[in-house]
Chain A
């Protein structure tokens, strides 16, 4: 459950389903919006992750 990618997918799934139900009534429009939101979030996250890949990680944050 602590996989970063899995958590991102679950989060994107929840938020996409929420806004799809909130904003659209027709089935076809719901599917289109769901795919746009879900793939946008997951794909956007992966793109940002790859853009950050060349940067070296900093020291771990201290636990207060």
Chain B
């Protein structure tokens, strides 16, 4: 018996919906979104009108930084001859303004003798890396590659 049913075709998105999802922003706005995303966690998403996600990301990164500092984790700075510290510093600078506030505003460094030093360092590094991913996500949204 021949199959006379028409093949299922997914409904085409409405023109307005499609344009909203894939339309890239002008270059200046995309760069602004990326810069804001790096400076303050979640701010790039707020700028791109993803308010709920921006607030959630802000809270998650700030909580990670707060726990890391509470545990006296290491806030890396480059040390001559120790090349991994350059990589770790880059990762932690990914958290944006909070890194510089901690480093130069609050003179925070962490305490190597603290019981939670290693855990705190993991939280601080993770906060920086999460924010770097947010920068990339803001770029994807601004350039129309992601909703």
Contact = CB atoms under 8 A, between A and B. Distances in A.
Contacts of B78: none
A63 B113 contact: yes
Contacts of A64: 112
Interface string B110-121: 001101100100
B129 to A, nearest CB: 10
B71 A18 contact: no
Interface string B30-62: 000000000000000000000001001100100
B137 A10 contact: no
Interface in A9-64: 10-11, 14-15, 17-18, 21-22, 25, 63-64
B126 A15 contact: yes
Interface residues of B, number: 22
Question: Dominant SS at the B interface?
Answer: helix
A22 B146 CA distance: 11
Size range of the chain A interface in the assembly:
10 to 19
Contacts, number: 38
A17 B123 contact: no
B126 A2 contact: no
B130 interface: yes
Contacts of A2: 71, 115-116
Contacts of A22: 57, 133-134, 137
7 contacts: A1-B71, A1-B116, A11-B122, A18-B57, A18-B130, A22-B137, A25-B147
Interface of B: 53, 56-57, 60, 63-64, 67, 70-71, 112-113, 115-116, 119, 122-123, 126, 130, 133-134, 137, 147
Given A1-B116, A7-B119, 18 more contacts: A1-B70, A2-B115, A2-B116, A7-B116, A10-B67, A11-B126, A14-B60, A14-B64, A14-B123, A14-B126, A15-B126, A17-B56, A18-B130, A21-B53, A21-B57, A21-B60, A22-B57, A22-B134
